[in-house]
Amino acid sequence: MPKFTPSELDAHKAKLLAAPAKKAVIKVGLNTCGDAAGAQPVMAAIKEEVQKAGLDAQIVKTGCSGMCALEPLVEVTTAGAAPVQYGRVTAEAAREIVEKHIKGGRVVDAYKVPSVGDMSSEKPVPGKQYRIVLRNCGVIDPESLDEYIARDGYQALKQVLSGMTPEQVIAELETSGLRGRGGAGFPTFMKWKLTRASRPGEQKYIICNGDEGDPGAYMDRSVLEGDPHAVIEGMIIGGWVIGASQGIFYIRAEYPLAIERIEKAIKQARANGLLGKNILGTGFDFDLEVRLGAGAFVCGEETALIASIEGLRGTPRPRPPYPAQKGLWDQPSMVNNVETLANIGQIVLRGGAWFGAIGVGRSKGTKVFAVTGKVKVSGLIEIPMGTTLRQVVMDICGGTSSGKPVKAMQTGGPSGGLIPASLLDTPITYEDLGKLGSIMGSGGMIVMDESDNTVELSRFYLDFSVDESCGKCAPCRIGGTQMLRTIDKIVERKGTAADIAKIRKIALTMQRGSLCALGQTTPNPVLSALRYFESEWTERLVPATKK
């Protein structure tokens, strides 16, 4: 197995790029979801037809392109032509596509759907997709190291290890304005700087948070499945900057394909001198291992996550001390989200200033969202910060699936809040969403139309959070249950105005008294529903006079 040095990496990349292109390239989306939608038989049919006809075509298995509602997805590129996207492809349709398009050179209009390219722009402009994190998803075969290398893969690592100082990397991150994509939005450069400065020379750890707890969101799964090396490259760079020799992927057990792809990518990187001892011949030693979650939402919280890696119950502990001071096995540790890490390589390569020019105010770069609910084109999108909610639903996702008006959108999952249709022109930034009582969150975005009920949705989220409370502290454990009971009373039309007041009071106690952000944010969906849709609550109340 070749172990790359920096120059060999470049030579290998040049060789890959110089290889003669096939007459046609056929890409089939094969993530967890593609499989579910029936992409395996489609793949088999294409392979069979291509072989039977002896065609000069390359067949590639890719990750998620984002057009999730249209799966199974097949993309065909013939020499000199722009890629054509086909959606909802069956095995028969696939045979027809091979016959007519690959062999005959005619696009099969019956299965043609808009491509991501149609919705994206070359330059980052609000209202259009722009891909940094998802740049390889749906484009390359995630199980091929060569395809990643051909798309500038491990160039950032090479650059960092052969000429930059850790301080320079941190400075680029500071210029970029990148903030954590896991929910809290803490400036990434600051976290890296603090962990680097903490107890120099001691054993440190970098941890990738792939727990993705928001139910109804799958940004991190798609990145782990669709471009695993990009996250690994971010981890190695992060490990080098903070002075860690060991990194850990913590991934939910519910994501078996993501786990498999990351494990495979780790092996490939190790075999090629990109991981392990003496990385790229520069003397830097760093390795990675994978640990699985076991179905506890609270384990997404960083101190609980660390406890879980130690093999314990995943209960949060008070901070400080922060993981940077005392984390895994009491050593300095840094927890970063999947999407945060997937941004690192591009920021190093293209410069912090390039990234910092995208977005608005203190919200820089792009954000990936999983847009679901009553939306026409449900899927994964990546947009420059500052794009408005309206642009997302109406322009990018084609409006509601029912054709009924949008009633509200929800960001931040169980920790976030509802935003009413009247505020859809709000730009997507940490600050603007926060002002409305919601949060950026990790990327869940739910669209509701007028047939949906905000009392029920907020009850749904509350039920989730109550179920997932670890029970360590009273405000969260008791407050959540009481709030749920009170809401149930209102749902059953037995509540009074006093019950609404009671909900507000419990909310305050939970926000102020809970130990971790789970308890502190549990009331958010309910509070936002009360704030913007109060009449849906009051119309369910028993009039005070009747009592």
Partner 1 sequence: MAAAAPGDLALIAKRWKDKRGSLIMALHDLQGRFGYVPRDAAQELGKQLNVPLARIYEVITFYNYFKLEAPGKNIISVCMGTACYLKGAPEIVAKLSEKLGVKAGETTPDKQFHLQQVRCIGCCGLAPVVTVNEKVLAKVKAADVVDQVYACAKGA
Ligand X SMILES: Cc1cc2nc3c(=O)[nH]c(=O)nc-3n(C[C@H](O)[C@H](O)[C@H](O)COP(=O)(O)O)c2cc1C
DSSP β-bridge partners for residue 292:
251
Beta-carbon count within 10 A of 253 CB: 10
What tokens does 495 get? 């509540």
End-to-end CA distance of the chain: 80
Distance separating alpha carbons of residues 215 and 457, to the nearest angstrom = 13
- The footprint of ligand X (CB under 6 A) covers 180-184, 186, 191, 209, 211-213, 297-298, 300-302, 335-337, 340, 442, 516-518
Q: How far is the CB of 505 from ligand SF4 (least distance, A)?
A: 17
In this complex, which beta carbon is closest to ligand SF4, that of residue 219 or of residue 516? Answer: 516
| 91 contacts 45 by C-beta, under 8 angstroms | yes
Distance separating alpha carbons of residues 186 and 178, to the nearest angstrom = 9
Q: How far is the CB of 253 from ligand X (least distance, A)?
A: 13
In this complex, which beta carbon is closest to partner 1, that of residue 403 or of residue 543? Answer: 403
Residue 514 contact among ligand SF4, partner 1, ligand FES, none, beta carbon within 5 to 8 Å by kind: ligand SF4
Q: Nearest Cα to 36, choosing from 74, 69, 83?
A: 69
Residue 34 contact among ligand SF4, ligand X, ligand FES, none, beta carbon within 5 to 8 Å by kind: ligand FES
Q: How far is the CB of 380 from ligand FES (least distance, A)?
A: 5
Cβ neighbours of residue 547 closer than 8 Å, sequence gap 6 or more: 496
- The footprint of partner 1 (CB under 8 A) covers 32-33, 35-38, 68-69, 71, 212-218, 221-222, 253-255, 291-297, 308-314, 329, 370, 372-374, 378-380, 410, 413, 444, 446, 448, 452, 457, 460-461, 470
In this complex, which beta carbon is closest to ligand SF4, that of residue 327 or of residue 373? Answer: 327
In this complex, which beta carbon is closest to ligand X, that of residue 89 or of residue 334? Answer: 334
Q: Nearest 5°: CA angle at 192, between 186 and 194? A: 90
Q: How far is the CB of 40 from partner 1 (least distance, A)?
A: 11
- What letter does residue 247 receive in the DSSP assignment? E
In this complex, which beta carbon is closest to ligand FES, that of residue 172 or of residue 468? Answer: 468
Q: How far is the CB of 353 from partner 1 (least distance, A)?
A: 35
Q: Nearest Cα to 412, choosing from 389, 433, 387, 386?
A: 433
Q: How far is the CB of 32 from partner 1 (least distance, A)?
A: 6
- The footprint of ligand FES (CB under 6 A) covers 29, 31, 33-34, 64-68, 71, 215-216, 222, 379-380
Residue 85 contact among partner 1, ligand FES, ligand X, none, beta carbon within 5 to 8 Å by kind: none
- The footprint of ligand SF4 (CB under 6 A) covers 298, 316, 469-473, 476-477, 514-516, 518-519
Crossing angle of the two packed helices 256-271 and 228-242, in degrees rounded to 10? 60
Helix, strand, coil percentages (3-state) for the chain, rounded to 5, are 45, 15, 35
CA distances for 305 relative to 145, 210, 260, 324, 510, angstroms: 29, 10, 20, 14, 22
Beta-carbon count within 10 A of 146 CB: 17
Distance separating alpha carbons of residues 153 and 314, to the nearest angstrom = 35
Residue 519 contact among ligand SF4, partner 1, ligand FES, none, beta carbon within 5 to 8 Å by kind: ligand SF4
In this complex, which beta carbon is closest to partner 1, that of residue 179 or of residue 221? Answer: 221
Residue type, 407: K
Q: How far is the CB of 370 from ligand X (least distance, A)?
A: 13
| 364 contacts 189 by C-beta, under 8 angstroms | no
DSSP β-bridge partners for residue 28:
61, 74
Q: How far is the CB of 219 from ligand FES (least distance, A)?
A: 10
Q: How far is the CB of 255 from ligand X (least distance, A)?
A: 11
Cβ neighbours of residue 435 closer than 8 Å, sequence gap 6 or more: none
Residue type, 390: R
In this complex, which beta carbon is closest to ligand X, that of residue 212 or of residue 499? Answer: 212
In this complex, which beta carbon is closest to ligand FES, that of residue 216 or of residue 321? Answer: 216
In this complex, which beta carbon is closest to partner 1, that of residue 309 or of residue 392? Answer: 309
Instruction: Give the residue nearest to ligand SF4 (CB).
Output: 519
Residue 413 contact among ligand X, partner 1, ligand SF4, none, beta carbon within 5 to 8 Å by kind: partner 1
In this complex, which beta carbon is closest to ligand FES, that of residue 373 or of residue 384? Answer: 373
Residue 267: CA atoms inside 13 Å, Cβ hemisphere, count?
8
